[in-house]
Structure formats: structure tokens, C-alpha cells
Structure 1
Amino acid sequence: MSADANIQVTHEGHVARIVLSRPPHNFVDADIMRRLADTLQALDDNENCRAIVLASGVSAFCAGADFSGADQGAIANDPGGFYAHAMRLYRNRKPIVAAVEGAAIGAGMGLALVADFRVTCAEARFSANFNRLGFHPGFGMSLTLPRLVGEQQAALLFYTGRRITGTDAVEIGLADELVEKAQVNARAMALAQEIAASAPLAVESTRATLREGLADRIAEINQRELAIQHGQFRSEDFREGVAAMAARRAPVFKRR
């Protein structure tokens, strides 16, 4: 087991289980992204590891970036540092199964999309809430979300920022399996074990063929996302979006 209090790694046979545990909501920042990327790289170097489960140790899978505080958070001040490490997550060689039993919001939804498969439950909530907060989507989701659900559904989720249930997520192809909440982690592990039962060199090479050039394309589109976000993080609309979210009220945007 790893010594990192926020990112715990255990092994069960040929499956590694990564648990993100940063109470209360698993907010992510550049340091968490760096440590997650380092963890995946270490598991790539571990020949005993054939598949990975990404899970949460708190009620939310990941509630996204923390924009609270007077400066709207460190990510708004330096989104490039955050994304530089986030893009590394797509470079891993081994299949990942995400166990999503709570909220996967904003960057947290982006993190769930790093995985090859998502196991979820009716109680889970998914939201690409960027536009509702006053800025362009990030985390490469301009590519990863329509790749999964199609351009029409992706546009709907982006433009509205609506929250959908795990049931809805499976229906539109955002998630792969729906089980009872108490069974999410066990089912994610069972799926990873099923993958790990196949020949590892064959699985990794098949995955590499299916995802040929994908990490490069995601990194490229993330640069466009980043350039737009740089300006929008300084806007009045962004400040209003964050304030409205904190106050649980409807935002009043003014196009500036």
C-alpha cells in the first residue's frame, strides 16, 4: 500500500486499486494531478499490474477543481500547470476502470473520462458544468466527451451544465455498467480482474492500436481549451458563475 494520504494504492492479484481520498469532496489541483500521473507511471513500470481501478475514498468521485476563495482558486491563476499534469494521465498503457458512485463534476468528470470504462450507480451525478461557471470546458473534454456520447449529447451537456444520473450516463454511453451503489467498487474490481485475465501484452497492444494518437489529440485540443480559459478566468462572468454556485442561486451573466 502507498504512503500517500490522498492517493492510496493497493494490489489484488494483477489489479492495482487507486483510491483518491481528499476530504470532503476530492477537489483536484495541480499537485494531485502530478501525483496521480506519477502513480500511473509507476504502475506502467510494474509488470505485475495488468489493469487499474480508480476509485474514491469519500462520498464524491471528484467534485472538480476548487474555485472557492477570493482568488477563485489556484487553478484559475495557473490552469496550464494543472493541465500539464492532467494530460499525462492519458499516456498510461494499462486499462483503467473508474468506480463512480458519487458526483463526478467538471474536472472530476474529466478525470472519470480518463478511464477506459466507468462502473456507476443511479445515485451518481455527472456534470460538465464549465459553461454554468462562466468558462470553456477543459481537461481535453472537448474531445473525450463527444468521443463517448456523440457531438449532440456532448453539446447538450456542455451548454446546459446539467447534472445527469448514473442511469442517464449509461443510457447515453457516458458510463458502461449500472449496478447498486453498494456494488460499484466490487463490480469495478471484477471488471478489472476480467481484463487482467487476458494476456497483458495483447491487451496493451490492442489498447494502443485502439487509442493510436489519442493522447496527442487530447493534448492538442487542451491547448485550445487552455488559451480560451486564460481569458475567461479573468472575466466578470466567471466570478459571477463561481459566486452563484457558492450561494446556490442562478447566475446573472453579462457577457463581460
Structure 2
Amino acid sequence: MGKERLDKILASQNLGSRKEVGALIRAGRVSVGGTEVRRPEWKADPEADVIAVDSQVLNFKRHVYLMMNKPDGVLSASRDPRARTVVDLLPPGLRRRGLFPAGRLDKDTRGLLILTDDGGFAHRMLSPKSHVTKWYEAVLESPVSEADVLRFRRGVALADGTVCLSAGLSVLREGETPLVLAGLREGKFHQVKRMFLACGNRVLSLRRVRIGGLALDPELAEGAARELEAEEAALVFRTAPWIK
């Protein structure tokens, strides 16, 4: 990416505002290539130069990718003046300028959500052309039939006439309120709920459990988040081996 202002580099790594990191630099607490630098406008290459703050080498990351286990009642948004958002749930150590949810979950939907500051990654993940399947566990009001499975496979026609892309549907637990697994390659407004309504059923609860080949970490508590390694983030664009 070439050279950038030193204060911009440090601010992008969650070390403070441009004003705050500028004060760090002017105080002589920052070095580039082993040489103390006191000018915030100094140009450095964050991916080639060794930058240190208080003698601690900066582990520069151009982009970050977070996995969150979204709880019920929280908005999938970066900010909202009237409601708590998924970004509000992040601890200080995971917060970073420009973070946004890559794809949304309804306020009452739980489960896997990716937050990032990488717009290209989000666009690729959400584009139907990428064929990234999002998998949801849904508790339903009534049992599903083989006809419902076939309708999902052929593409459900919603109440407004919109025809959805082919989707997967399988039963995980039978009974009066069955648990099913639904796989979608697109993300229309309230789509899972509307698809089941079109089949004469109703979703009682909904949780996203997988995006592509990336599964929700079973050790991640609701409301918690953790950083994804690059290899984990890349799993989004792979098909899970158990998905046919």
C-alpha cells in the first residue's frame, strides 16, 4: 500500500485518536526502524517498516475480522442513537474505527455475525454470485413436509411475488415445534421468516450457525466476540463438507 502518515497508521490500530497518537509521537514514544520519530506527519510503510510504541513492536493489521455470537435484542449496525448495537457489545480491545457487520441479522435473530472493516470482503461474502450459503437453525410453529423441502429446493415464492434462489432445508428434530436447518445463498429482508410463512408455517426462534465453511464457535458465549485468524475468515468462501 506504500507509505502513510505515522499518526494515521497508529490511529488505525486502535491506539487512540489522531490527536492522541500525535501526542505519543511528539513525546518521543514512537520509533520507525529503530529511530525515534517525533513528527506525526512522518511517512512510513506499515507493512515493511518496524514501528514500535514504547519499545513494543506494532503488529500492524490492514483489516480485522471478528466473529460474534449475536444475542437477541441487539441491532446489527455500527451505531444507533436509540438502541444498543453489536459494535456496542465489543470490549475495548476489539474495537476499531470503521468496523461494521458484514450482513445483518434481525434484531430478534441470534448467532453467527462477522464484523470487519474490509468492505471488499463483505461485498464478496454477500454477493449471490459468490454462492456463500448462510445456514440457520429455526424452531417452527408446526412440522415441515416433503413438499416444503421441495419448495425450498425449487425456490420459494414469497407473498409479494418474489421468487427466492434455491435453498436447503432439513429436519434436525421432529415434533410439534420442530427444529430445522435452512441454507440460503441470499439475504432478503426477513427472508427466512417470509419463506416459512409462504409455506404456511411460522418461525418461533432463529439462529445463524454457519456462513460458508465457517461455523459458529461453540465456546463463544452469546454477546461475546473474538478475532478471526486469516485462515478462519477465508473459510467463509468454502463450502462445508457436510453440506451437499
Do the structures match in fold with TM over 0.5? Answer: no
Return the index of the structure with the highest Cα Rg: 2
Scaled to the shorter chain, the TM-score interval is under 0.3
TM value normalised by structure 1: 0.20
Higher strand share: 2
